[in-house]
Amino acid sequence: MTNVIACIDGSSASKGVIDSAAWASAKLSAPLTLLHVIEEGNANSPQDMSGNIGLGSREKLMEELAELDAKKAKLLLEEGHYLLEQAKKQALTNDKVHDISMRQRHGEFTESVLALEPETRLLVLGLHGEDHAKGDHIGSQLETLLRRVHKPILLSPDIFVKPESAMLAYDGSGTSKRGIELLSKSPLFSGMPIHVVMVGADSDTNKEELTWAEKTLRDGGHKVKTAIVAGDVESALHEYQDKHNIGLMIMGAYGHSKIRQFLVGSTTTSMLEQSKTPLLILR
């Protein structure tokens, strides 16, 4: 059975990740896997400058550096176990979640996630990772994941609020059509009103696209509202979401319109940094 995989670290985002992953696990009736990755760079000691000193002193220093590396690796491992145990306790506060496993991996983060892709149904990440607190832009590895991971990715803010409605940014592309079909069948959205929003011209072609999307979702038992809005993609979608108090936005990672430019360009960072609600990214 495929799992909901929640990627946790030592950042404030982990609380939202655990809560959103537990919600998704319960809705999908899927096991929850808590994943913590110790990246290789985190266990490395500072640059070795021992070549500048005498041979005897260098040998002693190298021994001390090796001991330091071993201690640091042990501490990182212990910290990871602690984070996973605390995450499990938090996930169990959702009384509909029972099947939880914990995994710790060593290596590069993206490669660690990709190694688990065959058993992944939904990948859950924080909008802000540990590096964000250091002033780095959001999601330093997010674009790589969006390009390489072929499973849906749920991005959670630091504080997760269970969504009561969802909104799909629709552009008529193959990805967004598959998104409509996924929404219509997935238990993740059962009983949830769906808004389908296009950013573009109020044309007959766009209206026909929305008619198909509306029928597909209604056939799946959803209440549906469609809309065509004009303007800049980011601001238009946020404005619509805020106006209708929508708790979850859904977007395709790659389309063929303004939304594609929006997702793969620099606007992505701005969008995610400003988002206060979860985003589900589809491939």
* Residue 240, amino acid: Y
Q: List the chain domain ranges.
A: 3-42+76-156, 45-69, 166-282
Class of 3-42+76-156 in CATH: alpha beta
What pLDDT is recorded for position 254?
A: 53
Q: List b or e across 213-232, with b for residues whose CB sees 16 or more CB atoms inside 10 angstroms.
A: bbebbeebebebebebeeee
Per-residue pLDDT at 147: 76
Q: Is 167 left (phi over 0), alpha (psi -120 to 50) or beta?
A: beta
Question: What would the CATH number be for the domain defined by 166-282?
Answer: 3.40.50.620
Question: Using alpha carbons only, what angle is made at residue 256 by residues 254 and 260, rounded to the nearest 5 degrees?
Answer: 45
Q: What is the pLDDT of residues 182-220, one digit of tens each?
A: 899 999 998 899 999 999 999 999 999 999 999 999 999
Query: So what's the pLDDT on residue 149?
Result: 87
> Distance between CA atoms of 20 and 160, rounded to whole angstroms?
6
10-residue mean pLDDT profile of the chain (283 residues): values are 89 91 96 90 49 61 74 81 93 93 91 94 82 46 78 92 93 85 91 92 93 94 94 88 94 57 49 77 81
Q: Fold identical between 3-42+76-156 and 166-282?
A: yes
Q: Report which secondary-structure segment, H or E, holds 25.
A: helix 13-28
Q: What is the pLDDT of residue 208?
A: 94
CA–CA gap between residue 282 and residue 181 (Å, rounded): 12
**The model's pTM:** 0.83
